Chains A and B, each alone.
Chain A
Amino acid sequence: MNFLMKIWHSSLGKKYIMGISGFVLVSFIVAHMLGNLQVFLGPSWINTYGQLLHDNHEILWPARIVLLTMIGLHIWSAVKLRAENRAARPVGYAGDPAPLASSYASRTAMMSGLIIAAFVIFHLLHYTLRVRAVNLTNMDFSTLRDSAGRPDIYLMLLLGFSKWPVAVFYIIAVGLLCLHLSHGMRAMFQSVGWKWTFGGVSHLPDRIARWFAVVIFILYTSVPTAVMCGFGKAYREAAVQQLSAGAVAEKEVAR
């Protein structure tokens, strides 16, 4: 405990917490992306995958708890570091500070982080808790079922991204996430002291961070972009027709 408190009270220690919690969250981002990309393999693939995750509570809940803890630590250390940084310069310079070699991503990391946090809340309401009010389709995502009777994640994605404000917000948030990561991953490697040179390439981790951010952005945004370009339109329209026919039939029965 004493050891942990020492880390928490030191400036470098808080950066380790920042970096390590960031690393766990980045690992989740990669895993989540691999899950998302299964949408291109068709409805049965992604629905089987979703069923698999949801049926294994002994994996699902520990993973959720770890992720929430990491988000908590990441934000808490950010707030503490920010407060210390502000206190370190009570009187500023005249005029706006010159950026001086610092990247846009590094100067805006706090703001991009806050917007990402807001997006994560929306994203959870949208697809995890499936709150009807936020999905703009006037449909209840929690009732969607595929032909095998499983929750139809494929249809949920198609319906969710068929609303352009949702898709655009998603793309902007992923863009900010990648901006955040392009600085954050570089800082993470720096904070834990990894700056290797391999095969004559200096600062390999810095390069990895930049390319990783670009690749993540392309792969994540491929899903909403594809849906807006008409991917899965036939499946979506057939399902919507079936749903409304079902609703009409139910009303008839009730009458």
Chain B
Amino acid sequence: MNLTLKIWRQKNAASPGCLETHEARDVSPDMSFLEMLDMVNERLVAGGQEPFVFDSDCREGICGTCSLVINGVPHGSRKGTTVCQLHMRHFQDGQTITVEPWRARAFPIVKDLIVDRAAFDRIMLAGGFISVNTGNAPEANALPVSKEIADLAMDAAACIGCGACVAVCKNASAMLFVAAKVSHLNYLPQGQAEKDRRVKNMVLQMDQEGFGNCTVTGSCEAVCPKEISLDFIAKMNRDYAVAVVKGELKKSAAGGTG
């Protein structure tokens, strides 16, 4: 296959970028999209030009590192697929393909196609954890969890934090990511101790990072490589409302010293 690529080139966050056109010759339909980019880069290096930088790690669709917008769609138009699992057989010979980075104020561009997703890490730090006792791992069946709850929590936990939801949302909203992380822990008994604090703090951090708001278009759900459901956003909205209405716990006057 021969393809024409229009790839985003940007030196750093401070300088403006532009789309550069490159020809990709003799592409095998069995290559993944990232392998095709590797090949283009190798030829650029051989020709003394600078390669394009892009994120990738596991290349088996489970780590959430790869992050390319292909023809306007994050991870390309295959349903439930990350870029690394997108193969060139889904493209036509002679096609022009536009490759861009995630676009959001909260995800500043590091270089070319790599964006800084530390905003997601800070949201996780704000509440994406549970309190556990130290020592040996507890007996797995000591804490009963119903099948329905376990399934729902697992569906939410499938989020790999790639940020495609932000990239596709017309408002660059991180609601689907935050909702998946909040729901995952808020559904489970292990997450109950910090339930209210978790949702409040994670939403507050999300707002401070400068993501947009949810307008319930459902685009995020449609591109999510792990097919996280919009229903988790409803769950987060409900948990947040309950937490806000409950208010803060009264601080103990004695400071808990007895």
Contact = CB atoms under 8 A, between A and B. Distances in A.
Interface centre among A84, A88, A95 (most CB of B within 10 A): A88
Contact of A3 (B218, B236, B247): B247
A200 interface: no
Interface stretch (A97-105, A221-229, A234-242): A97-105
Contacts of A195: 231, 234-235
B123 interface: no
Interface size class of A (residues with CB under 8 A): 35 or more
A193 B103 contact: no
B103 A93 contact: yes
B188 interface: no
B212 A101 contact: no
Contact of A6 (B212, B217, B244): B244
B156 interface: no
Contacts of B214: 11, 15, 190-191
Contacts, number: 131
B203 A11 contact: yes
A194 B210 contact: no
Given A6-B244, A88-B173, A101 B216 contact: no
B6 A88 contact: no
Given A87-B210, A88-B105, A102 B237 contact: no
A125 interface: no
Interface centre among A9, A103, A191 (most CB of B within 10 A): A191
Contact of B222 (A97, A100, A187): A100
B215 A12 contact: no
A43 interface: no
Nearest to B237: A193
A19 to B, nearest CB: 9
A190 B234 contact: yes
A186 B216 contact: yes
Interface stretch (B41-49, B136-144, B164-172): B164-172
Given A11-B203, A194-B234, A94 B217 contact: no
Interface string A13-48: 111100000000000000000000000000000000
Interface centre among A6, A84, A99, A103 (most CB of B within 10 A): A84
A192 B216 CA distance: 12
Interface of A: 3, 6-7, 9-16, 81, 84-85, 87-103, 106-107, 109, 183, 186-187, 189-195
28 contacts: A9-B207, A10-B203, A11-B211, A11-B213, A12-B236, A15-B214, A81-B213, A84-B212, A85-B170, A85-B172, A87-B105, A89-B172, A90-B105, A93-B69, A94-B6, A94-B72, A98-B73, A101-B221, A107-B170, A186-B216, A190-B214, A191-B214, A192-B238, A193-B234, A193-B238, A193-B241, A194-B234, A195-B234
